[in-house]
Amino acid sequence: MSGISGLLDVVMKDGVRVITMTDIRTRNSLSMKMLEALNSAVADDSSLRCILLRAEGNVFSAGHNLKEIHSGNIESHRAVFESCNRLMLRLRSLPVPVIAQVDGIAAAAGCQLVAACDIVVASDTSSFSTPGGSVGIFCSTPGVPLVRNVPRKLSSYMLLTGSPISAQTAFTAGLVSLVVPKDKLEEETQCVVESIVSKSRAVLALGKRFMYQQAELTEENAYKAGADVMVNNINMADGQEGICSFVEKRKPHWTHED
């Protein structure tokens, strides 16, 4: 186990990097140090197959650190939001899937962090909110992934009123991938992790990259680009191995290489 004292525990096992936020004292607030620690912790390496992001305590993350912002200046504020943006975009550009495991409150930039992961598994007692308006700081950046994940009437409601939504509503709305009973959270998360590590790193990397890319194209252009991606995928080593294993009715042996 490695980690950053008081902020993160980072454990790497069998290709899965489990990053646990441990700053219970600040409700895992996204202080400058926490953001930098997370940015470092999510670095890619070739043995990595999946990242699992979780938290100690009953708050996944309460969002930006308002005390730090209060004592800062424009330069430090800008640095915080740039580091935060870097983290969000890095999660998306990482070649491996990033799973958020949520068991508790995800508020403001904490809700943004959840929404910026690829897959979200939440306990049924979790809640999600963007309450920044109440303290005069509208959740504008949390709104970026929120409006891309949650239907407009609900995201507007969350942003303009600050009211929380339940895990069940978050599932219905599309903010979480799975909502499970609290006592099944570890088990269900593990199932998701296992289904990911059973696959080829190279194939998931290609697939994740195109998934986000094509979502910002017109549908016609997405299909055109998609045909190329499929042809390339079939003809890479793990594509060939996958099809052969299917036809030969055996387990595939991945190289995990592009």
Please list every residue from 129 through 168 that binds a second copy, using CB under 8 A.
133-141, 143-145, 147-157, 159-163
Stretch that binds a second copy, among 13-21, 29-37, 38-46, 114-122 (CB under 8 A): 114-122
Nearer to a second copy, 23 or 68 (CB): 68
Q: Which of residues 229-248 bind a second copy (CB under 8 A)?
A: 229-231, 233-235, 238-247
Work out how close the CB of 215 gets to a second copy at its nearest, in angstroms, rounded to a whole number. 5
Nearer to a second copy, 6 or 95 (CB): 95
Stretch that binds a second copy, among 16-24, 34-42, 53-61, 222-230 (CB under 8 A): 222-230
Q: Which of residues 4-43 bind a second copy (CB under 8 A)?
A: none
Total residues contacting a second copy by CB under 8 A comes to: 97
For the chain, the three-class secondary structure string (H helix, E strand, C coil) is: CEEECCCEEEEEECCEEEEEECCHHHCCCECHHHHHHHHHHCCCCCCCCEEEEEECCCEEECCECHHHHHCCCHHHHHHHHHHHHHHHHHHHHCCCCEEEEECCEEECHHHHHHHCCCEEEEECCCEEECCHHHHCCCCCCCHHHHHHHCCHHHHHHHHHHCCCEEHHHHHHHCCCCEEECHHHHHHHHHHHHHHHHCCCHHHHHHHHHHHHHHHCCCHHHHHHHHHHHHHHHHCCHHHHHHHHHHHCCCCCCCCCCC
DSSP state of 27: T
Q: Can you tell me which of 10, 33, 66, 186 binds a second copy, judged by CB under 8 A?
A: 66
Nearer to a second copy, 9 or 116 (CB): 116
Binding mask 201-220 for a second copy (x = CB under 8 A): --xx-xxx-xxx-xxx-xxx
The residue assigned the tokens 């296992």 is: 194
Q: Does 253 bind a second copy (CB under 8 A)?
A: no
Nearer to a second copy, 11 or 67 (CB): 67
Q: Which of residues 69-108 bind a second copy (CB under 8 A)?
A: 69-70, 74, 77-78, 81-82, 84-85, 88-89, 92, 97
